[in-house]
Amino acid sequence: MASASACHKLWYLHLCADAGIVVTAYVDEAEGTMNGDRFERIVLRPRVSVTAGDRELALSLHHKAHQECYIANSLNFPVDCEPSIE
């Protein structure tokens, strides 16, 4: 779960930097659902604060980061992302 969260964060920060969006805070309250010793689902819930740049673009870049995340794409269960911009 921590690896998926970190991968998403790094992709997101990279995409924001390229887009001129200044991120001043990033907190992810990720949750996972398990069945025994196996994950069934992970939900990433990144909360981001931005001080410069388009807020709507900042929100939409989470989708792109999720598409690029190697960890999320390599898992055999769903990884969902429910971002918010503060």
Q: CA–CA separation, 8 vs 45, rounded Å?
A: 11
- Separation CA 50–CA 2 (nearest Å): 23
Q: What is the pLDDT of residues 20-66, one digit of tens each?
A: 999 999 999 999 999 999 999 999 999 999 998 889 999 999 999 99
Residue 23: both structure tokens together: 């991120």
Q: Which residues constitute the domain of residue 63? A: 2-85
Quote the pTM value: 0.92
13: domain CATH number?
3.30.300.20
> Residue 2 has what pLDDT?
94
Q: How many CB atoms lie within 10 A of CB 15?
A: 19
Q: How many domains does the chain have?
A: 1
